Amino acid sequence: MNRTVVVSNQKGGVGKTTSAVSIAAALARSNKRVVLVDLDPQCNLTKGLGLGEAAHNVYGALLGEYRLKAYAAGPPNLAVVAGSPALSAFEHTKGNELNREFLLRELLVPLSERCDFVVIDCPPALGLITLNAYVCAHEVLIPLEAQQYALDGLEKVLEFVTRVQQRFNPTLKVGGIFFTKHDKRKVLRRQMAELVHSQHPELLLNTIIRESIALGEAPSLGLDIFSYAPESAGATDYQALVTEILSR
């Protein structure tokens, strides 16, 4: 059965896009057919995989102009639905439509039938775009950067998951919370991890993504971390994360 995974946190810069691309690439390397969807108007995912100006992007499909198109990008088995800066107008354009929460789910059906995983990268917000992602998802993965206000954002994401479960998608679950950009010189992560563990013991994943220069460099070359630096800490950690996610 296809599994649709959303990477989301309303906080900016915590590693959502890096995680979405790296998780998708790790899955593709283990022979899963993966479709990666860029739902962020910043289009960092699209650009980071070298898909500059795609003729068909997710926004045009949401407007009903064409069907969702996934372009081959990155390693074999991986296809990408390109984002668009125009997505920032989505809430304004579609906010009053009756089926506004279900637009992406309907579009994804033909693609998800042909793959093993759909991985969706969300913008740093909990608006209509992210709602569309949660409505199609089986699970939400929440990256946290170990820093002082990380947990404020976490509670808002968890509340959002509960609201979507109650109103639109009863089988949605939190697939896991994990720490990114870990710097062992900083003690903060341990305190944060203890707090998350005490509040949500069943949700915190064991894998920690270390700070890794290669993870920052790979997108500027249009590559995923496994193609760019397979021996790096980033590649090792994201492979471990995917192994853990698949075992849950």
Ligand X SMILES: Nc1ncnc2c1ncn2[C@@H]1O[C@H](COP(=O)(O)OP(=O)(O)OP(=O)(O)O)[C@@H](O)[C@H]1O
Residue 222 binding: pick among ligand X, Mg ion, none (C-beta 5-8 Å cut-off by kind): none
Instruction: Provide, rounded to whole angstroms, the least separation between the CB of residue 197 and Mg ion.
Output: 26
Number of H helices, E strands in the chain: 11, 8
Instruction: Provide, rounded to whole angstroms, the least separation between the CB of residue 180 and ligand X.
Output: 5
Q: To which H or E segment does residue 5 belong?
A: strand 3-7
Angle at which helices 233-247 and 16-29 cross, to 10°: 70
Residue 64 binding: pick among Mg ion, ligand X, none (C-beta 5-8 Å cut-off by kind): none
Instruction: Provide, rounded to whole angstroms, the least separation between the CB of residue 14 and ligand X.
Output: 4
C-beta pairs of 47-54 under 8 Å, 24+ apart in sequence: 47/219, 48/17, 48/21, 48/218, 48/219, 48/220, 48/222, 49/21, 49/73, 49/74, 49/80, 49/219, 49/222, 49/223, 49/224, 50/222, 50/223, 51/80, 51/82, 54/82
Q: To which H or E segment does residue 80 belong?
A: strand 78-81
Minimum CB distance to ligand X smaller for 66 or for 188:
188
Minimum CB distance to ligand X smaller for 2 or for 42:
42
Q: Which residues bind ligand X (CB under 6 A)?
A: 12-18, 40, 42, 44, 124, 180-181, 209, 211-212, 215-216, 234
Under 8 Å between Cβ of 125 and 88:
no
Residue 209 binding: pick among ligand X, Mg ion, none (C-beta 5-8 Å cut-off by kind): ligand X
Residue 230 binding: pick among Mg ion, ligand X, none (C-beta 5-8 Å cut-off by kind): none
Strands 34-38 and 117-121: parallel
Residue 147 binding: pick among ligand X, Mg ion, none (C-beta 5-8 Å cut-off by kind): none
Minimum CB distance to ligand X smaller for 29 or for 181:
181
Listed residue (100, 234, 245) closest to 180, CA to CA? 234
Minimum CB distance to ligand X smaller for 22 or for 169:
22
Listed residue (103, 81, 83, 80) closest to 91, CA to CA? 103
Instruction: Provide, rounded to whole angstroms, the least separation between the CB of residue 228 and ligand X.
Output: 12
Beta bridge partners of 34: 78, 117
Instruction: Provide, rounded to whole angstroms, the least separation between the CB of residue 155 and Mg ion.
Output: 21
Q: Which residues bind Mg ion (CB under 5 A)?
A: 16-17, 44
Minimum CB distance to ligand X smaller for 169 or for 180:
180
Minimum CB distance to ligand X smaller for 3 or for 16:
16
Residue 3 binding: pick among ligand X, Mg ion, none (C-beta 5-8 Å cut-off by kind): none
Residue 85 binding: pick among Mg ion, ligand X, none (C-beta 5-8 Å cut-off by kind): none
Instruction: Provide, rounded to whole angstroms, the least separation between the CB of residue 31 and Mg ion.
Output: 27
Angle at which helices 103-112 and 128-136 cross, to 10°: 40
Minimum CB distance to Mg ion smaller for 3 or for 16:
16
